[in-house]
Structure 1
Amino acid sequence: MSFKYAANRTQMKQTGNKNVGYHVDILKWSDRMDLLAIGNDKGEVILHRLKWQKVWQLAPPEDGLRVRGIAWRPLEKVMAIAYSNGTVLLINIENKEEIYSFDVKSDITCINWTENTREVAMNDTSGDAINDYTTFLPPLPSLNSLSSTAKSSDYNTLKFYSKQILNLLIVGTTSGHIHLSVFGMLACCEIDLYEKFAIRPGETVIKDAKMSSNFKQLFVTIERRGTLELFVFENDILQKYSTSLLNLAIKHAHLLGTMAYINDTIECIVEAWETVLLEMDNKLTKYANDQPQGSIAADFLELLMFGCTSPALEQFLLRDLTEKGLKKLGNSIELSYSTIQKLVVKPLHTAICSMFYHLNSLQGMISNVYYYKPLLGDVTNEALINCGAFLIKAYELQQTIDTSTRDFKIFFRWLYIVIIRLMDETLPEDNPSVTQQEINYLAEFLDNFDACQMELGETGNEPVVEEKKRKFNLERVGQYLEDKTLPYPSKADASNQWAKLLEQNDCLKSCPLIYPHHDNNSLVQQHNLLKASIEKIFKHPIAVIGQDFKQKSVIRLQSEDDSNTFSRVITHIGGNFDEISLFGLLESENNLIIAECNRSSMFRAVRLCFNEKPYFETRFSSLGELTFKHIQFYSEDTLSILLRAHTADDQTSSYFLQLALQRVRELLEAVPFISSQIIGKHSSCCRVVNAYTLLEEGSLKCLEGMEAGSIAVSGTRNVASILSESHKTIRIYDMDAQEEDDELLDTSLNNSSLDNSKDSIQT
């Protein structure tokens, strides 16, 4: 039986050889673009084109971190990077900007992306409303036009989502957990293997975790006491609710983008407040600390009522504050309050209303009992209540800003008149006078000067007076921008008819349709409550889906290398043929298991090893003794294998093999399901095939002048990269190189993948 297919696949042409100044840990090709991602020992990720043109270089989020894995999101320009501290970053490869990040709280051992091979059908009518929200919501206002410190951010995280095709990011950790997330952003499942199998931490390492393309099967490979174990877990919920999960992820993206916008809006408000308003407090704090307790308000009220000042107050007004300083400070504070007011009235209010819309639509999705309630339960009501309370608190802040703006204007206008009179100068004719109503506001404003800073005691009931250095608290806006209880809550409005109605009717006050007003909470506290309740909504699918995974089958590979120094390699590819998944498990340098798992989670396997060379094949005599070094699936039909040849004079050389899987799959035999089933050297449950018999004429490519250590291949891009044993040399090969004569016949049809493809990103 001839296998010309295998021989043709080895027509590879070297297109690059690069010595790098760092230790390469990871090589990963993109399946969509001619891009190679490199993770090095410094924790950096470097992106190169096929011609070795550097696209960008990304430093680790913290010093001392190592890159544990790189995964390309299928068919999209997004890359997931896993670090040794448990952080996973999603990066937009066009500009290396962070799209999203999450923490799995322990070191990461593997990261992979699995895409559903079929488009998700929109079986329910809620899909259109979920995707097309712009009909009902205005766009979020640009923060750059309202604040000079605003970030130039794009809050449309939905553009990094596919609306028809679902994909899952799978992360395995050293703590024995498998984390699944939709589009890498919505956590949807967590499986604790240590708890499932009663394994003690430290005994087991998760080597690999991947899913079948239909999301029914989860394949987890672990290494335990010298044995590789490949587990198959099955679930029904990911298949049954794939449409629901996709729509839920899209709604999560809407909430995620809106929440990020609210975070940035609050940051702009805080920065606008800190720039000027603290300056006034700091000036008066110095004066306050030189005066007896309780004398400040008395001095200012005495000045207001009788027009006489104490020597200390007069010196403060004429030397520390001054007429010019007062004008400058008054203008700055007015501008600062105006900026805060604009940020609260337009961006913050618009964003909260958008949040209301998305939470209410989420509540409507739950009403669809069949599609969504099994995933979400009844957890959205708390978020809606907190969103309403957040909006009420924003209105309260707006009223506080109005009151503070009014009081500051009156205060500065009055101080200006006082300073002019103390300087024995004449007031300008156009200077407005202070009305009696304004004097009443001013008296109340001055009376608060000596209010003590209060904090709640340990019981949360009794107030404790802070006896530290006094701080002059002149304004009341800043307290809303701190994550603590308001020291000066706004006073109840006696004329508020709605408040009176609620006080007189307990049934209305306790009605869930009426949002509460938490008087003592700051804006930041209310925002944090909203964030926590939204996170709680999307934690429900994690438990529901995680409990649905059940172990279906397992195969175990007993090592024949007692030293356990060989680095075992696992590779997987999901085939479109009959929903079968293929596995290559390089268990030792002379033991390669190729297995397939069908839709019923049953295994067929064959063990390849290099036994004695066939006596009738003289072409193998010059090769030496071959052993396996590294493997990776090139495509559904081809397995790329890196071989090491040992000659009698202790010389070694490296070979690259493209192994056609057609004949190998014909040799597969069913593995009987026994809980203790072990496929090993002396096992009788798995066919053993001499790998020499699978080598065809011209199927081996000698890697001259290189002691190779590992490979990274991509069948969709027809490229391969080979890393040296020293991890400092990378060779690039074009796997679809044509003969020069063929290229002369029609150069337009034989463009090498060395050229930048149409799908390559533009720089």
Structure 2
Amino acid sequence: MPAFRQVGEKQLPNPVLFMVWSPKRDLIALANKAGELLLHRLANFQRVWSLAPSDNTGKEITSLAWRPDGKILAFSVGDRKLVILCDAEKAEILHMFPVENPVSCMHWVDVLEESSILTSFYNSEDESNLFLPKLPTLPKSYSTTSKIFSEEKSDEIMNLLGDVRLNILVLGGGSGFVELYAYGMYRIATLTGVPGTCRSLCLSSDLKSLSVVTEITATDHGPEITYIQLNTRLLSDCLPEVTRMARKFTHISTLLQYLRMSLTCMCEAWEDILMQMDLRLTKFVQEKNTCTQVQDEFLELLLWGKSSPELQALLMNQLTVKGLKKLGQSIESSYSSIQKLVISHLQSGSEALLYHLSEVRGMALWKQKFQPLGLDSTAIEDAITAVGSFTLKANELLQVIDKSMKNFKAFFRWLYVAMLRMSEDHVPPELNKMTQKDIAFVADFLSEHFSENEELFDRKGKYFNVERVGQYLKDEDEDLVSPPNTKGNQWLSFMQKSTHLKESPLLFASYPKKSLHYVKRMMEGAIELCLLKPAEIIGKSVKQSICMPLYALSESSANAPRLFELPSLWNDKKTGMHYVVFTMPEASPCQLYLLRRSTNPDLQVPNSLLAIDLTSILNTSIDDSVEAACYGCLDARFYDDETLTVVLKETGEEESSGHVLAQLPLASALGCEEEFSWDLSLRLDQQPVPPAQGLVLENQWRILENMKAQYVAVNGIRKVACVLSANLRHVRVFEMDVEDEEDEDRPESQDVSTDPEQLEETLPSQGEGVGVEPLAEGEGLDGEQSSGAALELSKETGLSSDTL
């Protein structure tokens, strides 16, 4: 009896391109050709949710990886050159960032090395909470509010940051593109000099080396598969410093996102109705026959209570008493919302940003520790100055809002009374009282805001700029139409007269003619320079340790899915070794190869190569009298440190038969492996290789009946495997290391027929797979399920199409 049993089988509507088991839970993530990301549970392969935003339809996911804690999925969208982090619990996009090249592979690793310095840092990492107030959550009433900052998910930011322990997301792509992102968010290294297109990556958990399998296009023959080991010693030697720097910059990146979202909410709070006054006044000027200035006509109405027929028509027919009242309420509501967002969100976010940047500046001044990582104190000081300028501009906006609210209240109160008199309506006594001071206030407002500007008409299509707040929220490079009047400001006069004070680096530049958006972009650019420098310096420190050409690709494998295709990489944390698993079908079709190399490039450990003979690997378990059959390996994945899960196919047989799922025990074979003298000027398939060793499988195998199996994904911690057919649409799920049940004892929910017609019935109906299927109430992804228990899913709900 096989030592593992089938617990699920399904025919999928779209070909699967990637499948990766969660490192912590019985969940498997799938990406298909329709651009969908799906999450399935082991129990009967039930779907938990699917993520397919409308603007992502038809754009294939090109790589997929789990964060080591199993809480976040990272995937890349090739056409858009975008990497997205998704919450595995609720299928919500938490973060995204652009990359320069399409990503072809990714690997997410936890850093396991401990030290007393790291332990003290882990314990003190939350000190910022003692000095900084908690960031106010953004109101959920705005459509573009980020999910991680909404009122309902105020704690999601810690889910995004993850544990304090450093974890690194490694991305690889074409043209030697390799980048490392701390916590999946902050780029700490941009590597150069990696030849070809990356097909597999593996960063050692001690950060001493990065193994890469690349496909290099040769001129005289087909593409070559090459193994390259890169020395990342700087990351390992400076692990405490890298962890502290990465954590700080991740906080800074998150705060920038918070400020962007706050500003977006402010733009939504500002209503276009505030522009109606400007447009109506412009139309009034264009239509009236007299040459009198608009402000003169309003002043005449203010002082003498008389108005021209044109002004009366404008007020009573176009604006109307009801419209004026609505406009006044709209302006007051809009200004109040913007004011609250500036005070509670922009200012608190800017203060937190200044705090973290100041700490980074202190790190940069500790040159013995942080200078090798590329921290530039000058660039950080420029960033701090830019944040200060942004804070000044936010305060300037507050003053403009405060002044505008007072002006508009007084103006609308007077105009409302004047229009009631025009219509001969009753004027409430409380509104009828207007002092000389009130008249002077309204007269000053009319003189300042109601003057025509021909240049403004050319730029904006209007003569007026009565409303002054909106210009601060425009994402344009042009100067403010009506900058604030600083005449009589004693501090500015004093600063302009003092040469030394004016040039002092301690003072923040104010940019009086620029909008809030413009200053925000300047701040982001200055901070970006701080973030880029370490990535460049660390990337240059990474050097190539060894380059081993393995074999030439055949033309038949050119269109095969890249994730599943051999070779694959494995990082053995116990022994500190990198494994490369590969086959050479043309040179030796019945052999499987394991190349071992130390994760520490500085150690003079010889390269070892193990060849496994698959000729009679199953015959010793079937019948010794049967003629030995030759098996070729289609796919292989490490199940644990000493076991390799493989999909085998008997050579020479029909395409639909002879497919086997097996567990190869490597302990005995690895003890007998020989040192291999490698001529690095030749490919491995061009030189003699060590003799192949045989293995005895006993009961660690199973024939995959009625399935043209091709690929496999495994998780040794959860003891599960998933086999995918060659057409990429038929999957079977297995629990490993358990005895198979008798047919009569098998639950009906798992009695899945292999008949093609019956399998076709399992296809989802049209539209299935384009929304989120949440878990049943009270059940989380952490809930353990027996293999035979079907997951009850609640009614399908849609995912917002503007998630991306």
- Fold conserved between structures, TM > 0.5: yes
- 1:381-411 CA distance string (max 9 Å, x none): 1111111111111111111111111111121
Give, in whole Å, the separation in 2 of the partners of 1:699 and 1:738.
11
Give, in whole Å, the separation in 2 of the partners of 1:429 and 1:164.
65
Question: CA contact under 8 A between 2:657 and 2:706: conserved in structure 1?
Answer: no
Matches within 5 A, 1:556-705: 556-559=549-552, 561=554, 567=560, 568-588=565-585, 589-601=589-601, 602-610=606-614, 619=624, 621=626, 624-647=629-652, 652-672=657-677, 674-680=679-685, 682-684=686-688, 686-689=689-692, 693-705=694-706
1:547, distance to aligned residue in structure 2 (A): 0.5
Name the CA shift for 1:438/1:149 in 2 (closer, same or farther; >3 Å): farther
Residue in 1 that maps onto 2:751:
none
Question: CA contact under 8 A between 1:219 and 1:232: conserved in structure 2?
Answer: yes
1:232 equivalent in alignment to 2:229:
yes
Residue in 2 that maps onto 1:208:
200
Amino acid at match of 1:711: V
Give, in whole Å, the separation in 2 of the partners of 1:68 and 1:48.
19
SS of the equivalent of 1:409 reads helix
Residue in 2 that maps onto 1:460:
none
User: Which of the residues 263, 270, 273 maps onto 2:270?
Assistant: 273
Question: CA contact under 8 A between 1:157 and 1:253: conserved in structure 2?
Answer: no
Matches within 5 A, 1:2-81: 11-51=3-43, 52-59=45-52, 62-81=56-75
1:310, distance to aligned residue in structure 2 (A): 1.8
Matches within 5 A, 1:718-757: 718-738=719-739, 754=787
User: Which of the residues 216, 239, 242 maps onto 1:242?
Assistant: 239
SS of the equivalent of 1:132 reads helix
Structure 1: gaps spanning 5 or more residues: 1-7, 198-203, 456-464, 745-750, 758-762
1:541 equivalent in alignment to 2:496:
no
Question: CA contact under 8 A between 1:23 and 1:727: conserved in structure 2?
Answer: yes
- 1:112-161 CA distance string (max 9 Å, x none): 11222334643597766542211111122343399798654537533333
Name the CA shift for 1:182/1:71 in 2 (closer, same or farther; >3 Å): same
Residue in 2 that maps onto 1:708:
709
Give, in whole Å, the separation in 2 of the partners of 1:185 and 1:303.
60
1:740, distance to aligned residue in structure 2 (A): 6.8
Name the CA shift for 1:432/1:145 in 2 (closer, same or farther; >3 Å): farther
Farther-moved stretch of structure 1 (511-520 vs 671-680): 671-680
Give, in whole Å, the separation in 2 of the partners of 1:342 and 1:615.
76
Instruction: Say how many residue pairs are matched.
Output: 720
Give, in whole Å, the separation in 2 of the partners of 1:309 and 1:738.
96
Residue in 1 that maps onto 2:518:
525
Give, in whole Å, the separation in 1 of the partners of 2:174 and 2:303.
72
Name the CA shift for 1:310/1:46 in 2 (closer, same or farther; >3 Å): same
Give, in whole Å, the separation in 2 of the partners of 1:561 and 1:148.
51
Name the CA shift for 1:370/1:129 in 2 (closer, same or farther; >3 Å): farther
Matches within 5 A, 1:257-296: 257-274=254-271, 276-291=273-288, 295-296=293-294
Amino acid at match of 1:550: K
Give, in whole Å, the separation in 2 of the partners of 1:147 and 1:22.
35
Give, in whole Å, the separation in 2 of the partners of 1:384 and 1:723.
53
Name the CA shift for 1:229/1:371 in 2 (closer, same or farther; >3 Å): same
Amino acid at match of 1:575: D
Give, in whole Å, the separation in 1 of the partners of 2:737 and 2:697.
18
- Relative contact order, higher structure (CA 8 A, sep 6+): 2
Matches within 5 A, 1:229-378: 229-274=226-271, 276-291=273-288, 295-375=293-373, 376-378=375-377
Give, in whole Å, the separation in 1 of the partners of 2:242 and 2:161.
13
Name the CA shift for 1:649/1:347 in 2 (closer, same or farther; >3 Å): closer
Question: CA contact under 8 A between 1:721 and 1:730: conserved in structure 2?
Answer: yes
Residue in 2 that maps onto 1:84:
78
Give, in whole Å, the separation in 2 of the partners of 1:181 and 1:650.
42
Residue in 1 that maps onto 2:396:
396
Name the CA shift for 1:432/1:140 in 2 (closer, same or farther; >3 Å): farther
1:285, distance to aligned residue in structure 2 (A): 4.1
Name the CA shift for 1:708/1:615 in 2 (closer, same or farther; >3 Å): closer
Give, in whole Å, the separation in 1 of the partners of 2:423 and 2:615.
106
SS of the equivalent of 1:723 reads strand
Amino acid at match of 1:596: R
1:48, distance to aligned residue in structure 2 (A): 0.7
Name the CA shift for 1:619/1:129 in 2 (closer, same or farther; >3 Å): same
1:277, distance to aligned residue in structure 2 (A): 1.7
Question: CA contact under 8 A between 1:595 and 1:668: conserved in structure 2?
Answer: no
Give, in whole Å, the separation in 2 of the partners of 1:328 and 1:756.
59
1:437 equivalent in alignment to 2:431:
no
- 1:497-555 CA distance string (max 9 Å, x none): 22122111110111111112111111111112112222221111111110011111122
Structure 2: gaps spanning 5 or more residues: 746-783, 791-795, 797-804
Give, in whole Å, the separation in 2 of the partners of 1:614 and 1:521.
76
Residue in 2 that maps onto 1:760:
none
The percentage of counterpart residues that share the same residue type is 28
Give, in whole Å, the separation in 2 of the partners of 1:363 and 1:553.
37
Question: CA contact under 8 A between 2:224 and 2:553: conserved in structure 1?
Answer: no
Give, in whole Å, the separation in 1 of the partners of 2:789 and 2:111.
28
Residue in 1 that maps onto 2:209:
217
1:44, distance to aligned residue in structure 2 (A): 0.4
Give, in whole Å, the separation in 2 of the partners of 1:105 and 1:147.
31
Give, in whole Å, the separation in 2 of the partners of 1:695 and 1:566.
34
Give, in whole Å, the separation in 1 of the partners of 2:67 and 2:144.
33
- 1:585-613 CA distance string (max 9 Å, x none): 23434453201111454521123455689
Amino acid at match of 1:656: L
Amino acid at match of 2:576: E
Farther-moved stretch of structure 1 (325-334 vs 507-516): 325-334
Residue in 2 that maps onto 1:93:
88
Give, in whole Å, the separation in 2 of the partners of 1:442 and 1:266.
31
Give, in whole Å, the separation in 1 of the partners of 2:187 and 2:354.
22
Give, in whole Å, the separation in 2 of the partners of 1:570 and 1:610.
17
1:185 equivalent in alignment to 2:191:
no
Give, in whole Å, the separation in 1 of the partners of 2:390 and 2:459.
33
Name the CA shift for 1:525/1:128 in 2 (closer, same or farther; >3 Å): farther
- 1:413-453 CA distance string (max 9 Å, x none): 22123223323455332225333333333233223323426
SS of the equivalent of 1:698 reads coil
Farther-moved stretch of structure 1 (318-327 vs 205-214): 318-327
Give, in whole Å, the separation in 2 of the partners of 1:160 and 1:469.
45
Residue in 1 that maps onto 2:486:
492
Amino acid at match of 1:477: V
TM-score, with length taken from structure 2 = 0.83
Name the CA shift for 1:620/1:306 in 2 (closer, same or farther; >3 Å): farther
Name the CA shift for 1:432/1:710 in 2 (closer, same or farther; >3 Å): same
1:275, distance to aligned residue in structure 2 (A): 5.5
> How big is the alpha-carbon RMSD for the aligned residues of Structure 1 and Structure 2?
3.1
SS of the equivalent of 2:450 reads helix
Amino acid at match of 2:471: Q
SS of the equivalent of 1:431 reads helix
